[in-house]
Amino acid sequence: MAEEGKATSLYRNCKLCDSLIDTLDELIGTDRLPPEMGLKVLEKYDEVVLAQMDARGDEPKATIKGKVESYGFVDNVWKFRTTELSLKIQNPAAPPGLDMTIKEPLLMVCQDVRARQESDE
């Protein structure tokens, strides 16, 4: 059950699901759709999206390589000043991977507040 909650949080925060929920709320609020039917629509959405995620198989992967010149951690934000950063993205559902090299990027990594709150619970 906890695993399903994590999976639904991956796609429940997307614009498509937000629009679906807003539309269902509006239809229920104007008595054009019974609340039970709204829940059934949302359950069917969850079922279909989870089935598609399972059928997809491999997940996209990203590899970052580079030389770290300096780094720091302040207010839950890591900052890495690097040179010759190489980024490789592999997505089985897309055309062949994306490879790029960036000469002097500043890489910042922030913790998602929602993820931190969920891990605290």
**Would you call 97 helix, strand, or coil by DSSP?**
coil
Specify the number of domains making up the chain.
Answer: 2
Q: 68 and 116: one domain? A: yes
The whole-number pLDDT of residue 11 equals: 67
Taking 70 as the threshold, does the pLDDT of residue 97 lie above it?
no
Domain final residue, candidates 17, 35, 56: 56
pLDDT tens by residue, 17-42: 888 999 999 999 999 999 999 999 98
- Phi, psi at 52, each rounded to 5°: -65, -40
pLDDT mean across residues, the chain: 75
**Would you call 77 helix, strand, or coil by DSSP?**
strand
Q: 65 and 45: one domain? A: no
- Phi, psi at 105, each rounded to 5°: -85, 160
Q: 72 and 101: one domain? A: yes
Q: 51 and 73: one domain? A: no
The whole-number pLDDT of residue 98 equals: 58
The whole-number pLDDT of residue 1 equals: 36
Q: 115 and 68: one domain? A: yes
**Domain, as residue range, for 69:** 61-120
Interatomic CA distance for residues 82 and 115, integer angstroms: 27
Domain final residue, candidates 33, 56, 79: 56
The whole-number pLDDT of residue 35 equals: 93
Domain final residue, candidates 35, 56, 77: 56
Percent of the chain with pLDDT over 90: 17
Q: 96 and 112: one domain? A: yes
Q: 7 and 38: one domain? A: yes
pLDDT tens by residue, 61-82: 778 888 888 888 888 888 888 8
Check residues 14 and 74 and name the one with the higher pLDDT. Answer: 74
The whole-number pLDDT of residue 100 equals: 64
